[in-house]
Amino acid sequence: MNILEITLLVLTLSVSNLMAFYLGAKLKQKVDRNEELRIPDPIKVVKQMEHKREQKKEVDKIDKIFANIDKYDGTPNGQHPLE
């Protein structure tokens, strides 16, 4: 291993340790305050992410349509493909 790989490994491990400490402290505070511990349903999270991705694609398509309308001069020059 060269020095760059070792440095990267040490940095990665340090950041992961700090994140674990932070998450553990936050969890302990919630337990001490008798707050409800909520774990998100991974299936719902994935579906929401897919839905947001589809919405973004639709917005991008509409933006291209409006840009094509703005640039239209009677010829196909400067038109963006919709796909």
Question: pTM of the full predicted structure?
Answer: 0.49
Give me the pLDDT at residue 63, please. Answer: 92
Residue 51: pLDDT over 90: yes
Instruction: Using pLDDT thresholds of 50, 70 and 90, give the confidence band for residue 13.
Output: very high
Give me the pLDDT at residue 1, please. Answer: 77
Rounded Cα distance between 26 and 37, Å, is 11
Contact 64, 82 (CB under 8 A): yes
Residues 18-35: tens digit of each pLDDT = 999 999 999 999 889 988
Domain coordinates of the chain in residue numbers?
1-38, 39-83
Instruction: Using pLDDT thresholds of 50, 70 and 90, give the confidence band for residue 36.
Output: confident
Provide the sign of the torsion angle of the four alpha carbons 7, 12, 15, 18, taken in this order: negative
